[in-house]
């Protein structure tokens, strides 16, 4: 009799475990665009049944976020601070909020932009938060969440040239004997490759700021840049000698818009948690407030 009871108990346990596994598989999914658009309740922190990277974050007591900290106002270095406090910007505020809901410490892991996403698969970080735009290749290689910031400008990518070259460089065809520069690994690099067929040299650098600096110094003739970033830079630095090419810009597909957070491919539960934070950020309009605060601090620092 006891053997029969034990057998029934084991059978019931197996059924429950299989049902739980099927339920988890059913719940944690990506949509047709290969990104996670659903979320979980995060009010009680990391759930007790957490697995994968989410469980390791709880055990470690620290959330590691990879970031290229040279893309103001999203991320920049505040030289008046030291240690982790020197990392500032709206993306840092977002990372801090995620860590707070997880009830763990935040560690920003600075690196070149081209290394940010590979750091996920190499277990050098848990999340990548670095003004990452959605692209199909990123979605196929990493787990992406919902968009948390949508730029006001519909055009995402522009071409920056020296003001003195405005008459000489008016169309894409005028770039055929020019040196073009772009940040390696960025969505701007993809947009340039898809839309610009004429150039003498196509250079890639690790930081976006190096692109427009190279144009200012005459080391490159044109830079492919994020439009909103460059408009803000030129407005804040009227004597920089840079302008945007008139009526030349590239638009993202509607489905690709919005900055995203990335995790290692398959970490769907982790992204469900992250999306729970993103919902609060979007609903409370927090990111725009953080951007405003970051821009104010940037002016104070003279960056």
Give the per-residue pLDDT at 249: 85
Give the per-residue pLDDT at 133: 87
Residues 65, 125 contacting (CB under 8 angstroms) = yes
Tell me whether the CATH fold assigned to 34-150+258-301 matches the one assigned to 155-255. Answer: yes
Tell me the pLDDT tens digit for each residue of 81-125: 999 999 999 999 999 999 999 999 999 999 999 999 999 999 999
Q: Which 8-state DSSP code applies to residue 82?
A: -
In the numeric block, which tokens belong to residue 134? 């959605």
Give the per-residue pLDDT at 155: 57
Q: Give how far Cα 87 sits from Cα of 108, 124, 143, 161, 164, Å.
A: 7, 18, 25, 30, 36
- pTM of this prediction? 0.71
Task: Tell the CATH superfamily of the 34-150+258-301 domain.
Answer: Periplasmic binding protein-like II (3.40.190.10)
Q: Domains of the chain: which residue ranges?
A: 34-150+258-301, 155-255
Give the per-residue pLDDT at 40: 96
**Alpha-helical runs (H) found in the chain:** 2-27, 52-60, 90-102, 113-116, 118-121, 136-141, 187-195, 208-216, 227-236, 268-283, 286-301
Which CATH number is associated with domain 155-255?
Answer: 3.40.190.10
Give the per-residue pLDDT at 153: 58
Give the per-residue pLDDT at 255: 66
């Amino acid at each position: 009799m006891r053997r029969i009871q034990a057998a029934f108990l084991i059978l019931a346990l197996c059924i429950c475990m299989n049902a739980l596994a099927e339920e988890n598989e059913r719940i944690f999914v990506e949509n047709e665009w290969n990104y996670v658009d659903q979320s979980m309740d995060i009010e009680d922190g990391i759930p007790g049944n957490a697995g994968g990277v989410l469980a390791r974050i709880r055990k470690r007591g620290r959330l590691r976020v990879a970031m290229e900290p040279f893309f103001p106002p999203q991320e920049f270095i505040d030289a008046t601070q030291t240690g982790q406090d020197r990392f500032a910007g709206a993306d840092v505020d977002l990372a801090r909020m995620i860590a707070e809901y997880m009830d763990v410490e935040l560690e920003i892991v600075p690196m070149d932009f081209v290394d940010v996403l590979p750091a996920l698969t190499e277990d050098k970080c848990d999340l990548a938060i670095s003004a990452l735009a959605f692209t199909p290749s990123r979605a196929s290689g990493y787990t992406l969440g919902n968009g948390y910031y949508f730029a006001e400008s519909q055009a995402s990518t522009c071409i920056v040239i020296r003001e003195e070259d405005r008459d000489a460089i008016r169309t894409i065809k005028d770039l055929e004997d020019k040196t073009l520069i772009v940040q390696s690994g960025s969505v701007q690099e993809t947009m340039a490759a898809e839309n610009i067929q004429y150039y003498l040299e196509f250079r890639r650098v690790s930081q976006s700021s190096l692109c427009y600096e190279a144009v200012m110094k005459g080391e490159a003739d044109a830079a492919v840049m994020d439009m909103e970033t460059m408009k803000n830079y030129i407005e804040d630095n009227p004597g920089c000698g840079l302008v945007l090419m008139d009526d030349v810009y590239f638009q993202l597909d509607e489905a690709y818009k919005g900055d995203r957070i990335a995790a290692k491919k398959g970490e769907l539960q982790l992204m469900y948690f992250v999306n729970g934070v993103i919902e609060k950020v979007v609903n409370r309009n927090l990111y725009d407030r953080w951007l405003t605060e970051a821009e104010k601090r940037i002016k104070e620092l003279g960056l």
